[in-house]
Structure 1
């Protein structure tokens, strides 16, 4: 189902900021609802600058600006052919490189098994977020990296804190995911209905 962002009653530039966040998350098809023509024009400018097409609908003073980047119907067919299913409205936050407390070797093994189990499931998260000690997983845990790559191939967004990579001197070691920042990671958390912390 295409996401609908409710920006009614919000003054510019808030509707534009909300739409830009969704674009930054990699969403190719979504809609923004606003209640004034200025916001519509600004959203159209944003879409044009980001390579998106727009379609405008108006109903009793409420404008719905549809953003699209590609063929939505084609993507749905492609997902069916490739066996892809829509991602869930939830994300995972990982702040350390082991699961639980106690034996470090066991904790790293549990992390590997967690991502293997997740990659075999049909209910996948919208994103996996790595911060602090957690950035060692997509850089140093080779077995976990293999399963994370499988999740990325299924459309899961993997964001890794750039400041954390720099702190641990791992900036050149990232094997999977995208270098990100606090702004984008918080944006993902706010855009989902549930955040699971390991």
Structure 2
């Protein structure tokens, strides 16, 4: 079976949700989805490979044609982390300072908090960055080195693609990957504990 979807112009997470619905509607076959930006392309690819599908991508004049094979993985299939299983903690960072009050103090507290995450056991499964929190994952962030250490320790670091676009800093992302609201909600729902800061 073959399904074609034109997801150009759709905001996050609509391309991923369209992909999910199409894949749920078939036992095996190919879903081809056309998207018009890099973030949507990456999100659809990550979602599809995380759910055991093969993926290939063709660049077409600034658009991306993502071909997803269900039932018989393609050789181009990427390898990414599985969705979070139960029994794990997920942190959600919604700002680049910690607490309310003085931003200068909040920046100091956030730096200490990120450093301390390296010392706790068990380590969290993932840290998700949204809204102003994504400013912690860009090149000039005061916590970037410790975030890289957390990633090296096996913690999944993911920043909201819509947020990176809003702040116009996607090209400055220096740690982790880009994600979408569907994956964020999925990971939060699967975690045994979600801590939002």
TM-based fold match above 0.5: yes
2: CA distance, partners of 1:101 / 1:50: 50
Verify: 1:45 aligned to 2:65, yes or no.
no
Aligned to 2:55: none
Verify: 1:159 aligned to 2:185, yes or no.
no
- Flag structure 1 segments of 5+ consecutive residues without an equivalent: 1-11, 26-42, 53-68, 70-86
The structure with the larger Rg is 1
Following superposition, the deviation at residue 13 of structure 1 comes to: 2.3
Deviations 1:104-146 (A, max 9, x none): 1111111111110011222111110001111111116633111
Between Structure 1 and Structure 2, how many residues are aligned? Answer: 134
Moved over 6 A (4+): none
Distance 1:119 1:171, change over 3 A: same
Contact 1:127–1:158 at 8 Å: present in 2 too?
A: yes
Deviations 1:8-40 (A, max 9, x none): xxxx82898xxx859539xxxxxxxxxxxxxxx
| TM-score, scaled to structure 1 | 0.58
Contact 1:157–1:177 at 8 Å: present in 2 too?
A: yes
| TM-score, scaled to structure 2 | 0.58
2: CA distance, partners of 1:130 / 1:105: 20
Please state which structure has a larger fraction of its residues in helix. Answer: 1
Larger RCO (CA within 8 A; separation ≥ 6): 2
- Flag structure 2 segments of 5+ consecutive residues without an equivalent: 1-22, 28-45, 52-68, 80-85
Verify: 1:13 aligned to 2:39, yes or no.
no
2: CA distance, partners of 1:131 / 1:158: 11
Following superposition, the deviation at residue 94 of structure 1 comes to: 0.8
2: CA distance, partners of 1:181 / 1:145: 21
